[in-house]
């Protein structure tokens, strides 16, 4: 068997492709992993080649195949009907494995045959035959044909992370290329700015709140998405509403913070809310004063 194989990666696009040459899969929000099965014994590697068999031992122990096979897939935890990276991280920190699943979406090697030169569709067919012989927590990642945008819109409505589109005739390549394309769904909301971290001419980060009834609670920070000029403009605006103390209902410790009256709203794109109630993968899109837009 080969050793660890550098994984194929997808290129980020704004729109999903359509046409008979593409298949589309739900994008999982988990840990990309590669499973090496050698006659009943499985080892699990991260996308960077680190051996995490011990951390995913329950999944490794479920590969009862007597073959020599290399699977490509994702370890996930499903929370509230969808895969949730924050819940997976929390389970890993606790050493908990009972909620972990492995979704197999590709096969690279089987019983002496290197399958990377085969077409995507051929590999998926071979993969399904093997996964059908196994039981949960090992699952087959279903694909869909037709218009990728339709699947993406459905995925967005369900708050999934997005989709991955793959050319049906393409071989497996250990690189980031046009044969795999990903389109990510994002959430967007306006949050009151409750503080900021200064940098020499602008802001390094904004602290954000969320109004819940009569309470204003901390929901995290955003530190990307602005130019140097925009950073200076944000600083000038926030300097007009500096407060001697924070306005959060439950104060937090942020030694570098300059607190402000929550008069400005930051328009923020984000991927998810973590199990700790904080924004994940946030990006700044704009600043407005006054009432938040609906």
Which residue numbers are catalytic? Answer: 27
Positions of E strands within the chain: 9-12, 22-26, 31-38, 41-46, 68-79, 82-83, 100-110, 113-114, 138-140, 144-145, 162-167, 176-184, 187-198, 203-212, 215-222, 257-259, 264-270, 272-273, 279-280, 283-289
Which position has the token pair 């990510």? 184
**Per-residue tokens: 243:** 């407060």
Instruction: Report how far residue 149's alpha carbon sits from residue 71's, in angstroms, rounded to the nearest whole number.
Output: 28
DSSP letter for 134, please: S
Give ∠ CA 72-77-78 in degrees, rounded to 5: 115
The closest alpha carbon to 85, from 279, 282, 272, belongs to: 272
Q: How far apart are the first and last CA of the chain?
A: 56
Task: Answer for the pair 288, 256: CB distance below 8 angstroms, yes or no.
Answer: no
DSSP letter for 91, please: H
**Per-residue tokens: 72:** 């490509």
Instruction: Report how far residue 68's alpha carbon sits from residue 36's, in angstroms, rounded to the nearest whole number.
Output: 8
DSSP letter for 51, please: B
């Amino acid at each position: 068997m080969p050793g660890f194989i550098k994984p194929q990666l997808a290129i980020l696009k704004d729109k999903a492709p359509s046409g008979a040459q593409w298949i589309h899969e739900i994008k999982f929000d988990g840990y990309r992993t590669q499973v090496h099965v050698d006659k009943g014994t499985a080892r699990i590697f991260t996308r960077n080649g680190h051996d995490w068999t011990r951390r995913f031992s329950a999944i490794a122990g479920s590969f009862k195949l007597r073959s020599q096979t290399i699977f490509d897939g994702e370890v996930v935890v499903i929370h509230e009907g969808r895969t949730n990276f924050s819940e997976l991280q929390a389970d890993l920190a606790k050493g908990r494995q009972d909620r972990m699943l492995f979704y197999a979406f590709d096969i690279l090697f089987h019983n002496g045959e290197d399958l990377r030169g085969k077409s995507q569709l051929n590999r998926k067919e071979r993969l399904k035959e093997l996964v059908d012989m196994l039981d949960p927590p090992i699952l087959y990642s279903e694909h869909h044909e037709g218009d990728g945008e339709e699947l993406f819109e459905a995925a967005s409505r369900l708050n999934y992370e997005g989709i991955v589109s793959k050319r049906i005739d393409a071989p497996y390549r250990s690189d980031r290329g046009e044969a795999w394309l990903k389109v990510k769904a994002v959430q967007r909301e306006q949050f009151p700015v409750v503080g900021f971290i200064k940098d020499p001419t602008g802001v390094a980060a904004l602290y954000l709140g969320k109004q819940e009834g009569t309470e204003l609670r901390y929901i995290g920070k955003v530190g990307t998405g602005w130019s140097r000029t925009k950073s200076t403009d944000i600083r000038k605006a926030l300097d007009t509403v500096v407060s001697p103390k924070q306005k959060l209902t439950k104060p937090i410790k942020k030694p570098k913070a300059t607190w402000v009256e929550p008069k400005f709203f930051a328009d923020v794109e984000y991927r998810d809310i973590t199990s700790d109630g904080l924004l994940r993968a946030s990006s700044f899109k704009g600043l407005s004063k006054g009432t938040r837009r609906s």
